[in-house]
Amino acid sequence: FYVGAEINVMLFNEFITNLIYRLYNNQTNDCNNAKKISKPIIYRMLFLQTHNCVMNKKRIALLASGSGTNAENIASYFKNNEYAEVVLILTNVTTAGVIARAQRLDIPCLVMDKMTVSDGRMMLELIQQHNIDLVVLAGYLKLMPAEVVSNFQHRIINIHPALLPLFGGRGMYGHNVHEAVLQAGVAETGITIHYVNNRFDEGEIIFQKSMPVLPDDTAESIALRIHRLEYEHYPPVIEQLAKGLF
């Protein structure tokens, strides 16, 4: 679709360029001091204008269940981004800290009731009402409904605080993951960014970043370093997705 649209724009630009060139330069023929405008300049001006129309920014919806530190980091990253912008934040918790963060960021935030969270048709309708292109989970602890997943294939992503497929699945989030890492005695842990499917943490892996587990690590110290990895790597991966590179 995009390639066809770009070809049509090029043909349209060529036609308009020739038209403007003839009209403008014919008017200046009788004016000795008037500067003529060249076709390349006209075409470049039209290209920049129509290219912006074809390359619309991707519209991102963030889903979060907790304090929203990841959501805020992502929203800030895309505040003046060329490729995407966060236009909606959804949460399933009426007391979630992400609500206040959304207000400070001046981003619309909606609290989904239990019916919307569990009914895929209702959640899908809500997302589609806001013309969302990408759905990004940032600490959202509910399983995404099948209707949403099927309609947003490879357009829903999540971040997990471990190196999947290890330490994933239902109930494996936050400190639960880090405690499991310590109990297992593994040498490293990290983050995984993956597409979302109908099962917890089983979607196709997009990106992983590892870090060592230190001898004196606690769940808290691991969490602190994991958060740093999340803040560093999640927004750029989302941006690459918005560019269509995954």
Q: What would the pLDDT profile of 164-207 be if each residue is shown by its tens digit?
A: 999 999 999 999 999 999 999 999 999 999 999 999 999 999 99
Tell me, what's the pLDDT at 63?
Answer: 98
Q: Which strand ranges, in their side-by-side order, compose the sheet holding 84-91?
A: 109-111, 84-91, 58-64, 134-137, 156-160, 188-195, 205-212
Among the ranges given (9-18, 27-36, 169-178, 190-199), the one the predictor scored with the smallest mean pLDDT:
27-36
Looking at the chain, list the stretches that DSSP marks H as alpha helix, in order from N- to C-terminal side: 2-28, 39-54, 69-77, 98-105, 114-118, 120-129, 146-151, 175-184, 219-242
Q: Please determine, for residue 46, whether its predicted confidence score (pLDDT) is greater than 60.
A: no
Identify the CA nearest to 167 among candidates 224, 229, 219. 219
Which is it for strands 58-64 and 134-137: parallel, antiparallel or unpaired?
parallel
Q: What would the pLDDT profile of 216-242 be if each residue is shown by its tens digit?
A: 999 999 999 999 999 999 999 999 999
Size (the chain), residues: 246
Tell me, what's the pLDDT at 244?
Answer: 86
Residues ≥6 apart with Cβ < 8 Å to 217: 182
More confident residue, 77 or 15: 77
Joined tokens for residue 11: 């043909």
Question: Once rounded to an integer, what is the mean pLDDT over residues 75-101?
Answer: 97
- Name 89's bridge partners: 62, 109
Residues ≥6 apart with Cβ < 8 Å to 69: 101, 139, 227, 231
Q: Please determine, for residue 11, whether its predicted confidence score (pLDDT) is greater than 90.
A: no
Distance of CA 142 to the CA centre of its chain: 19
Q: Please determine, for residue 8, whether its predicted confidence score (pLDDT) is greater than 70.
A: no
Joined tokens for residue 165: 């497929």
Residue 30 confidence class, pLDDT cut points 50, 70, 90: low
For 137, the 3-state DSSP assignment is strand
Q: Please determine, for residue 54, whether its predicted confidence score (pLDDT) is greater than 70.
A: no
**So which residues are the catalytic ones?**
160
Average pLDDT, the chain: 87
Q: Please determine, for residue 44, whether its predicted confidence score (pLDDT) is greater than 80.
A: no
Q: How far is CA 235 from CA 70, 108, 199, in A?
A: 9, 19, 23
Residues 237 and 193: beta-carbon distance below 8 Å:
yes
Question: Once rounded to an integer, what is the mean pLDDT over residues 36-52?
Answer: 53
Q: Please determine, for residue 7, whether its predicted confidence score (pLDDT) is greater than 50.
A: no
Which helix (H) or strand (E) element contains residue 195?
Answer: strand 188-195
Tell me, what's the pLDDT at 53?
Answer: 44
How far is residue 33's CA from residue 175's CA, in Å, rounded to a whole number? 75
What is the torsional sign of CA 38, 42, 43, 44? positive
Question: Once rounded to an integer, what is the mean pLDDT over residues 6-14?
Answer: 52
Tell me, what's the pLDDT at 193?
Answer: 98
Question: Once rounded to an integer, what is the mean pLDDT over residues 37-50?
Answer: 54
Q: Please determine, for residue 112, whether its predicted confidence score (pLDDT) is greater than 90.
A: yes
Tell me, what's the pLDDT at 56?
Answer: 84
How far is residue 237's CA from residue 246's CA, in Å, rounded to a whole number? 9
